[in-house]
């Protein structure tokens, strides 16, 4: 049986391996306490659109305005949200332990805003604040564009534009129907004038090959003591793949999630059931210290 909800046992393990290499794989549950909706799985609806169907190149080709409204909404919500104690705890761990690498499936930029060192963070699914050209032959990429609205047609509030005072901009107010945004009002590539798209990995797209190569290089540098699986199911791809790779390098698995499938864990593995924002700061306390009132650790 795995070791469930036993914080002292985890602390004992952590302190006996002070220089070991640590991996984390994070999913939507990491940002849940920051109040961000995930749009994944059953009920993943945005304004009556199946969110998984909006996150595809086909949807963008068919109606780029609708897809951009969805991403403009997510950018706005992510900018309004704040990193929670789980983001801060992982960032503090990264500052303490140079041999810690964090892989995140989240695109909300909250780990970066918590001060997680970029060299110890890999964003598997990209970032809402990266823009790239939709033209595959064009390599234009822009990082850290946090303009909100990105363009006037994607304004977040249900206000009216000066240019067309009769047209509501309904991004946040769900009672206001969505309007069709013509492609001429969407952000354009400064190099080739094609449409810009969000720099996230859509359904049906491959993860970035160079990024995956960097992760495998890190994996192959030596043994790993523990892989944290935070806010995502350890049996779900790609988590399952990284859990396997880490386990093959000696790692014990430590799942931190609102649900822990004990049958997927080995007898030496750990499971902690609950909110990552509560659990991670406690689990990492021997390394990062206790939380101060301002949410920092050192
Ligand atoms: Zn371009």
Q: For 176-193, what is the mean pLDDT?
A: 91
pLDDT more than 90, % of the chain: 73
Whether 166 shows a pLDDT value over 50: the answer reads no
Q: Determine contact, residues 288/92, Cβ cutoff 8 Å.
A: yes
pLDDT of residue 46: 78
Whether 280 shows a pLDDT value over 90: the answer reads yes
224-238: pLDDT as tens digits: 999 999 999 877 777
pLDDT of residue 295: 63
Q: Determine contact, residues 275/267, Cβ cutoff 8 Å.
A: no
Q: Which of 11, 88, 125, 140 is catalytic?
A: 125
Q: Can you tell me the distance from the alpha carbon of 230 to that of 147, in angstroms, rounded to the nearest whole number?
A: 29
- Distance (Å) from CA 183 to ligand 1 centroid: 15
Whether 168 shows a pLDDT value over 50: the answer reads no
Q: For 195-209, what is the mean pLDDT?
A: 94
pLDDT of residue 170: 55
Task: Say which residue, 139 or 39, is predicted with more confidence.
Answer: 139
- The structure tokens 């924002």 sit at 277
Is 138 part of any known ligand binding site? yes
- Give the DSSP per-residue string, the chain: --EES-HHHHHHHHHT-TT--EEEEE-THHHHTTT-----STT-EETTEEHHHHSSHHHHHH-HHHHHHHHHHHHHHHHHS---HHHHHHHHHHHH-TTEEEEE---S-HHHHTT--GGGEEETTEEEEEEEESSTT---EE-----SSSSGGG-SSS-B-SS-TT-B--SS-TTSPP-PPPGGGS-B-TTT-PBEEEEEPPTT-PPPHHHHHHHHHHHTTS--SEEEEESS-TTSTTHHHHHHHHHHTTPEEEEEESS--GGGS-TT-EEEES-HHHHHHHHTHHHH-PPPTTS---
240-264: pLDDT as tens digits: 899 999 999 999 999 999 999 999 8
Whether 180 is a known active-site residue: answer no
pLDDT of residue 167: 42
The dotted CATH code for 37-80+127-200 is: 3.30.1600.10
Q: Can you tell me the distance from the alpha carbon of 60 to that of 69, in angstroms, rounded to the nearest whole number?
A: 11
- Distance (Å) from CA 188 to ligand 1 centroid: 8
Is 26 part of any known ligand binding site? no
Q: Can you tell me the distance from the alpha carbon of 168 to that of 188, in angstroms, rounded to the nearest whole number?
A: 23
Whether 111 shows a pLDDT value over 80: the answer reads yes
**Average pLDDT value over all residues in the chain:** 89
- Distance (Å) from CA 196 to ligand 1 centroid: 7
Q: Which fold has domain 1-36+83-125+206-298?
A: Rossmann fold (3.40.50)
Q: Can you tell me the distance from the alpha carbon of 276 to that of 91, in angstroms, rounded to the nearest whole number?
A: 14
4-42: pLDDT as tens digits: 999 999 999 999 988 899 999 999 999 999 988 766 654
- Distance (Å) from CA 11 to ligand 1 centroid: 50
Where along the chain do its domains lie?
1-36+83-125+206-298, 37-80+127-200
Whether 165 shows a pLDDT value over 50: the answer reads no
């Amino acid at each position: 049986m795995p070791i469930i909800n036993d914080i002292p046992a985890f602390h004992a393990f952590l302190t006996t391996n002070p220089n070991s290499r640590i991996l984390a794989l994070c999913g939507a549950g990491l940002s849940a306490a920051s109040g961000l909706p995930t749009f994944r799985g059953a009920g993943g609806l945005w304004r009556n659109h199946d969110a998984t169907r909006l996150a595809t190149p086909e949807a963008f080709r068919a109606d780029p305005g609708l897809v951009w409204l969805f991403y403009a909404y997510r950018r706005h919500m992510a900018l309004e949200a704040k990193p929670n104690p789980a983001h801060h705890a992982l960032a503090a761990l990264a500052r303490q332990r140079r041999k810690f690498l964090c892989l995140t499936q989240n695109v909300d930029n909250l780990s970066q805003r918590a001060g997680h060192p970029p060299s110890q963070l890999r964003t598997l699914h990209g970032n809402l604040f990266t823009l790239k050209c939709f033209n595959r032959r064009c390599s234009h990429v822009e990082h850290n564009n946090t303009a909100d609205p990105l363009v006037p047609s994607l304004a977040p509030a249900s206000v009216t534009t000066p240019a067309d005072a009769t047209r509501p901009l309904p991004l946040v107010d769900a009672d206001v129907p969505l309007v069709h945004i013509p492609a001429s009002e969407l952000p354009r590539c400064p190099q080739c004038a094609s449409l810009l798209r969000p720099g996230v990995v859509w359904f049906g797209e491959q993860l970035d090959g160079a990024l995956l190569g960097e992760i495998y290089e890190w994996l192959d540098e030596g043994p790993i003591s523990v892989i944290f699986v935070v806010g995502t199911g350890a049996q779900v791809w790609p988590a399952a793949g990284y859990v396997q790779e880490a386990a093959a390098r000696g790692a014990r698995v430590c799942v931190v999630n609102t649900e822990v499938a004990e049958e997927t864990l080995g007898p030496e593995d750990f499971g902690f059931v609950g909110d990552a924002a509560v659990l991670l700061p406690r689990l990492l306390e021997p390394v990062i210290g206790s939380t101060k009132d301002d949410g920092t650790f050192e």
